[in-house]
Amino acid sequence: MKRRVYLDHLSGGPLAPEVSAAMRPWLEEIPGNTASLHRHGLKAREALDTAAAQCAAKIGATADDLVFTSSGTEANNLAIKGVAEAQRERGTHLILSNIEHPSIDQSVAWLEKQGFTATRVPVDREGRLSVGAVTEAITEQTILIATHHANHDLGTVQNLPALGALAGDRGIPLLIDATASGGWLPVDVTAHSISLLTLAPHRFGGPQGVGVLYRNPRVPLAPQLHGGVQQDGLRAGTENLAAIVGAGAASALPAIEVTPLQQQLHGGLLERIKQMILNGPEPGPDRLPTQLNYSLAGLEGEGLALALDMQGVAIASGAACVTQNLVIPPALTAIGLDAAQAKGNVLLSLGRDSTAADVDHVLEIIPKQVDKLRTLSPMWDA
């Protein structure tokens, strides 16, 4: 049987065994709705409270300040649109970088159609957001600064302490999208003066179908789903309890160190493949430890991803949220890549199940497939 290695954990990885075990009773054995008054409902509420406490502990928050959603995308939508609607009388201006995840960028674009304004602050060649540039973009109408902890395309880690200090000094809510970094990089919402923060548990051992929003209770938030009074009326609808339990269990997992694997993979690829550019910072404190983004001359990223899949290696070409549209990720355009470099883009992401043996295996497979595709490519001949 052909060995398979999975290097697309940013799209979603396997459930950690501990998470699967925690979820199973709520999928197979225990009925219960958190709104019910009988003992099954009590057990459901206790499970929800436990999961909230586990998720909150991961980010230095309080369980009562969390809202569970269907995904990180919904959590970002709720944060941005909810703050904008609740604070419209105070102001109508938002600030974000020009390399945000589509769930942030498109939420802001929707608000712009409703009469809000926005400033998209450019980043540098490695995807860093200048705190000075954010400062210059602030106006008397600014009601939200929204950016990410680590960029989902480039892996660039932003300066949370400086951004938090700026937002706190100006009294402007700060939303941090930690859907790529959550579970891998430490973050403390209180220490960093973060008003809102979002998590995607499926990227650190949890299930798909659940997202987490932290909100400082002092920040007004208008609900975007209307119906029942679940979660203090901020997100109506019966909770996906099994997934929420899984999110809590994933948040409680002990941290693991994948930086050595990232360095092993990066160094090995650089030795074996010529004309390959790393997009974003070098592996280290300025880069998400699970992710590597490359542009390879003379081939198309989609072609390499398909060829590697035939060899048992799963990677991505661009983020999962935009790959199906064959659209060049805006982050690559923002850092100055031309069309050919962007087309040759691939994204490799490690997870809790990745091993040194996996890395050794793909270091034998990937360079051979690159060479094979280049021999067939008129772009490489040119």
Residue 319 predicted with pLDDT over 70: no
Residue 330 predicted with pLDDT over 90: no
With contact defined as beta carbons under 8 Å apart, do 253 and 205 qualify? yes
Return the SS3 of 171: coil
Q: Which part of the chain is CATH 3.90.1150.10?
A: 5-14+256-381
55 is an active site residue: no
Convert the pLDDT of each residue in 85-136 to its tens digit.
999 999 999 999 999 999 999 999 999 999 999 999 999 999 999 999 999 9
Out of 213, 321, 334, 337, the active site residue is 321
Does the structural domain 17-251 have CATH classification 3.40.50.300? no
The third-level CATH classification (topology) of the domain covering 5-14+256-381 is Aspartate Aminotransferase, domain 1 (3.90.1150)
Task: Determine the average pLDDT of the residues in 80-86.
Answer: 98
Q: Which part of the chain is CATH 3.40.640.10?
A: 17-251
- Among 155-159, 215-219, 277-281, 321-325, the minimum mean pLDDT is found in 321-325
pTM of the model as a whole? 0.94
Residue 181 predicted with pLDDT over 70: yes
Convert the pLDDT of each residue in 252-281 to its tens digit.
999 899 999 999 999 999 999 999 999 999
User: What DSSP string runs through 76-142?
Assistant: HHHHHHHHHHHTTTT--EEEEETT--HHHHHHHHHHHHTT-EEEEE-B-TT-PBPHHHHHHH--TTE
Both tokens of 317, joined, read 């070409």
Convert the pLDDT of each residue in 54-76 to its tens digit.
999 999 999 999 999 999 999 99
